[in-house]
């Protein structure tokens, strides 16, 4: 279900509790004791509601909200962060200090803290189940996971995203677009993280808040990172064809690793691959130079990457000799080339004739010839 631990089923809770949260034998999206709720209306009970939707995580293909197997995220247990969990776990449900879809005490539900809506929680926040357009840990109808559907806020959401993921503008276990992760910020960790970070599962075929098996989702398992997200969202990986720390579209990497900036890269390197033919592509001064190829080879090469050069129009490229060569080739008309060739030919002929005739020519003619040759050479220079 949406979280919980041990044999728990539903949006959160613990023990044998069934429902969106709660404790003991309580059925419902939150509360304690005999408290009802969390499940909504009709035949709906607990964090999942009725129809195809089963608790925070659901069944069949539905992962998330709570997940299954060793999956951490929307539910999970131990130290797992995500849609639910227990102990210190933040997410869609859980108990103790856990922030999630129901729970008790200071729990803030699947969405985070403040005025955000979530899978359960308390105060003015919507959650724990509800009905119709109600925001919360379960809802009814086709709603899957900790929170409901449409614009509903809560631990899960709908569409193809199960459990702690959500969709649209929904706040909760993960979500996408502008959605704010499973826990938000402050004390709440949850599926997404903090700040502007989106994550916690994503959408499409994403596996909600936590996913299944070793899948990384709303909170991930062990040291695993999730975050997900899509579109322009910044996060651990993105979606579509983008795998891991790079994202897609205008997404800003997944942070990289070490001191690295960007989706790839390492060390102090900026870029980590660049964008299309754009500048970057790794590099750095030295190893490929600033630009490392750049845009159509124009702004590439850079300092250390083959001298002063390879730059736009060759201005900085291949050395300054290369510059001059380029300018000469660009500006010499054929007539000037022909006239210079003639001058060179005449000079060589004159020198050859003078050398072969020096024994019979008077010294005065030799001096005249030498002066002529010197003049021609000076003109050529």
> How many domains are there within the chain?
2
Contact 47, 164 (CB under 8 A): no
Distance CA 88, CA 83 (A): 12
Query: Is the same domain home to 245 and 329?
Result: no
**Shared-domain flag, residues 321 and 188:** no
Best CA proximity match to 76, nearest among 226, 240, 243, 202:
226
Of the chain, the percentage scoring pLDDT greater than 90 comes to 0
Answer yes or no: pTM beyond 0.85.
no
Within-domain flag for 140: yes
**Do 189 and 75 belong together in one domain?**
yes
Domain end among 254, 279, 304: 254
Q: Is residue 281 assigned to a domain?
A: no
Residue 288 counted as domain residue? no
Q: Is the pLDDT of residue 28 over 50?
A: yes
Tokens, residue 133? 């357009």
Last residue of a domain, one of 254, 281, 297: 254
Domain containing 344: what range? Answer: 313-381
Question: Does residue 286 fall inside a structural domain?
Answer: no
What average pLDDT does the segment 39-46 reach?
53
In a domain, 41, yes or no: yes
Same domain, residue pair 5 and 79 = yes
Residue 262 lies in a domain: no
Q: Is residue 266 part of a domain?
A: no
Same domain, 131 and 63: yes
Does 220 share its domain with 325? no
For 276-334, the pLDDT digits (tens) are: 433 444 443 333 434 444 443 333 433 433 434 444 443 444 444 444 444 445 556 78
221 & 343 share domain: no
254, 279, 299 - which closes a domain: 254
> Same domain for 323 and 246?
no
Residues 78 and 220 grouped into a single domain: yes
Q: Are residues 43 and 167 part of one domain?
A: yes
Provide mean pLDDT across the span 175-182.
53
Give burial (CB, 10 Å; 0-12/13-18/19+) of 28: buried
Beta carbons within 8 Å of 127's beta carbon, 6+ residues apart: 20, 29, 30, 38, 101, 102, 109, 110, 111, 117, 118, 119, 120, 121, 135, 136, 137, 147, 153, 154, 155
Least Cα distance to 42 among 130, 118, 125, 117 occurs for 130
pLDDT digits (tens, 9 = 90+) for 60-88: 554 455 555 555 555 555 555 555 555 55
- Tens of pLDDT, residue by residue over 348-368, are 888 777 766 655 556 677 778
On whether both 107 and 237 belong to a single domain, the answer is yes
Do residues 208 and 354 share a domain? no
Let me know: does 171 contact 116? Beta carbons within 8 Å. Answer: yes
Residue 44 within a domain: yes
């Amino acid at each position: 279900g949406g979280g919980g631990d041990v044999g728990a089923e539903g949006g959160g809770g613990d023990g044998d509790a069934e429902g969106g949260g709660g404790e003991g034998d309580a059925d419902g999206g939150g509360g304690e004791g005999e408290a009802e709720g969390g499940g909504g209306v009709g035949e709906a009970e607990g964090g999942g509601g009725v129809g195809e939707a089963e608790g925070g995580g659901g069944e069949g293909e539905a992962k998330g909200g709570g997940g299954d197997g060793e999956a951490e995220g929307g539910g999970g247990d131990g130290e797992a962060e995500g849609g639910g969990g227990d102990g210190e776990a933040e997410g869609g449900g859980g108990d103790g200090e856990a922030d999630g879809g129901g729970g008790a005490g200071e729990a803030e539900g699947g969405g985070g803290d403040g005025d955000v809506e979530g899978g359960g929680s308390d105060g003015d926040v919507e959650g724990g189940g509800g009905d119709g357009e109600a925001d919360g840990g379960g809802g009814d109808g086709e709603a899957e996971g900790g929170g409901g559907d449409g614009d509903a806020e809560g631990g899960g959401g709908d569409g193809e995203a199960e459990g702690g993921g959500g969709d649209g503008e929904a706040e909760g276990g993960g979500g996408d677009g502008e959605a704010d992760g499973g826990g938000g910020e402050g004390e709440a960790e949850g599926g997404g993280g903090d700040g502007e970070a989106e994550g916690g599962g994503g959408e499409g075929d994403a596996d909600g808040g936590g996913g299944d098996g070793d899948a990384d989702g709303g909170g991930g398992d062990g040291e695993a990172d999730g975050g997900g997200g899509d579109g322009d969202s910044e996060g651990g990986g993105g979606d579509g064809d983008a795998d891991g720390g790079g994202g897609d579209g205008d997404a800003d990497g997944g942070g990289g690793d070490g001191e690295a900036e960007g989706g790839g890269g390492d060390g102090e390197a900026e870029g980590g691959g660049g964008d299309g033919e754009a500048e970057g592509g790794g590099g750095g001064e030295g190893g490929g130079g600033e630009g490392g190829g750049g845009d159509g080879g124009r702004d590439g090469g850079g300092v250390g990457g083959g001298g002063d050069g390879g730059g736009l129009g060759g201005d900085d490229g291949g050395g300054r000799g290369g510059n001059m060569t380029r300018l000469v080739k660009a500006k010499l008309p054929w007539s000037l080339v022909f006239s210079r060739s003639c001058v060179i030919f005449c000079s060589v002929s004159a020198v050859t004739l003078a050398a072969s005739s020096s024994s019979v020519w008077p010294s005065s003619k030799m001096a005249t010839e030498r002066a002529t040759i010197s003049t021609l050479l000076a003109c050529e220079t």
